[in-house]
């Protein structure tokens, strides 16, 4: 269950990062409100998960999901540049997070 919280928190991190861009420096109301909601949800779920998990692997999974998710969302929906190097780099982040998770202790 704690890992499910980390995964959902990572997806919410993607949401708050995207909304941060869409808020244009907190000058647009609804993206700013969405940013705050996603951020609170993400940090809240991560906080709950950290009661049962080691901080290093949990934080790595959370940030990895957020970073990869944000980059992928940007390429698909926001017109960010898609390149082979970017796709390989996202894959390496995902592989690194999986490796860190596999190397940690089981709970």
Question: Per-residue pLDDT tens for 40-73?
Answer: 999 999 999 999 999 988 999 999 999 999 999 9
Number of structural domains the chain divides into: 1
Average pLDDT over residues 75-94: 96
Residue-wise over 67-81: b if at least 16 C-beta within 10 A, else e? Answer: bbbbbbbbbeeeeee
Report yes or no on 37 lying in a domain: yes
* Tokens coding 98: 């999986």
Residue 85 dihedral angles phi and psi, to the nearest 5°? -60, -40
Report yes or no on 51 lying in a domain: yes
Residue corresponding to tokens 């969405």? 34
pTM > 0.85 = yes
Full domain range(s) for residue 81: 1-102
Report yes or no on 107 lying in a domain: no
Non-local CB neighbours of 3 within 8 Å, separated by 6+ positions: 49, 53, 61
Report yes or no on 21 lying in a domain: yes
Per-residue confidence band for 105, with pLDDT thresholds at 50, 70 and 90: low
């Amino acid at each position: 269950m704690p890992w499910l919280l980390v995964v959902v928190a990572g997806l919410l991190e993607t949401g708050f990062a995207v909304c941060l861009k869409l808020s244009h420096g907190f000058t647009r109301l609804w993206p700013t409100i969405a940013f705050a909601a996603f951020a609170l949800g993400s940090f809240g779920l991560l906080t709950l998960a950290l009661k049962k998990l080691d901080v290093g692997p949990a934080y790595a999974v959370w940030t990895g999901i957020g970073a990869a998710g944000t980059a992928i969302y940007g390429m698909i929906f926001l017109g960010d540049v898609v390149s082979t190097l970017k796709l390989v780099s996202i894959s390496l982040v995902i592989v690194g997070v999986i490796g860190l998770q596999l190397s940690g202790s089981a709970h």
